[in-house]
Amino acid sequence: MSVSDDTNGRDPPAMMLGIESSCDETACAVLDGEGRVRAEIVASQIADHAPFGGVVPEIAARAHLAALAPMVRAALAEAGIAARDLSGIAATVGPGLIGGLIVGAGFAKGMALATGAAFYAINHLEAHALTARLPGIAARAPDFPYLLLLVSGGHTALIAVEAVGRYRRLGTTLDDAAGEVFDKVAKLLGLGYPGGPALEALAAEGDPARFTLPRPLLGRAGCDFSFSGLKTAVAQIVSRLPPGSLPRGMAADIAASFQAAVVEAMADRLSHALAMMPDATCVVVAGGVASNRAIRGRLEATATAGGLTLIAPPLRLCTDNATMVAWAAIERRRAGYSSDDLAAHCRPRWPLDGAVQSLIAGKAVSVAV
């Protein structure tokens, strides 16, 4: 994707279709040119993956393939438009599970080819980074630069959002992502999948001081995260207990102690990032783990102590969704980026730092901003 004054002979998109299929949720949304949501639909695959205790990539890809066409038809009907009325079609092309990415991107490319609409290849992390600027999320869209804490099942990172298409990574996880550890600890406690919400609910019943758990990297320089040691510490506690189901009170205390450790570690890393980015206009938190009330409350207090406001999109826009994908395409078009070639390929790994890159004909091409 390159910055250009060229609009490919088209007026700015009046209607943008977004498609998201990077993991275990199939989603599509229709936004108008101002970012107003005309339709949004999400199909969860939790029931498909729950028996396996985690996401099975092949099952996820097949579910996306089965769900996508009827969902897009339903979204267009809800928006009151036909496919030919779309000026742009955006799809997540990375990072994520490659099978699901291919399904969503292939569908979007086929629609673009059939309708003549512009195609936009969207970085999933950039979509999260820009969600807070969607109309109606905050009283005023955050000005650049702002600080983003992205916490999800696959990503944990602190990122300086300097402009559309320009990002600087301040820190990231050295091992497991926060959401991944929540799910793994929930499994240790017998809570099933997905474990994050269940663990949060259980932690509310427990004593966070019952067990002494490590606070990884607490006080150390930089903004990197580490959760693997914390996960191992919980596993060691559980292994020393009698076999069989844990008493609910014991499980609640472990859950509360674990959550308290994560909360403290995240607040510490955020405070370091604030010191590294004195020109930040606000703090934005995004990703599924951002829905955790204890984490959100502590992050808000940390941001406030640093003189900044915390902006957290509503839950439906923190987890994987297509509204953010369509909005990212609108933001990129407004910033002067042209649409993408249909040769843009999918990529399971696509870091969000430096200039966002275009993936065309198998090559990563840096964007000059």
Binding-site residues from annotation: 124, 128, 150-154, 183, 196, 200, 292, 320
At 304, which amino acid appears? T
Residues placed in the known binding site for substrate = 150-154, 183, 196, 200, 292
At 89, which amino acid appears? I
CA distance 347 to 358: 11
Fill in the DSSP letter of residue 291: G
Buried b (16+ CB within 10 A) or exposed e, 348-362: eebbbeebbbbbbee
- Residue spans of alpha helices (H) in the chain: 46-49, 57-79, 98-115, 124-130, 178-188, 196-203, 228-239, 248-276, 293-305, 315-318, 323-334
Tokens 């029931």: give the residue.
47
Residues placed in the known binding site for Fe cation = 124, 128, 320
Buried b (16+ CB within 10 A) or exposed e, 239-268: eeeeeeebeeebbbbbbbbbbbbbbbbbbb
- Beta strand pairing status for 25-32 and 37-44? antiparallel
Rg (CA), the chain: 21
CA distance 80 to 75: 9
CA distance 349 to 336: 25
CA distance 340 to 363: 13
CA distance 137 to 10: 29
Cα–Cα distances (Å) from 117 to 1, 8, 19, in that order, read 16, 11, 14
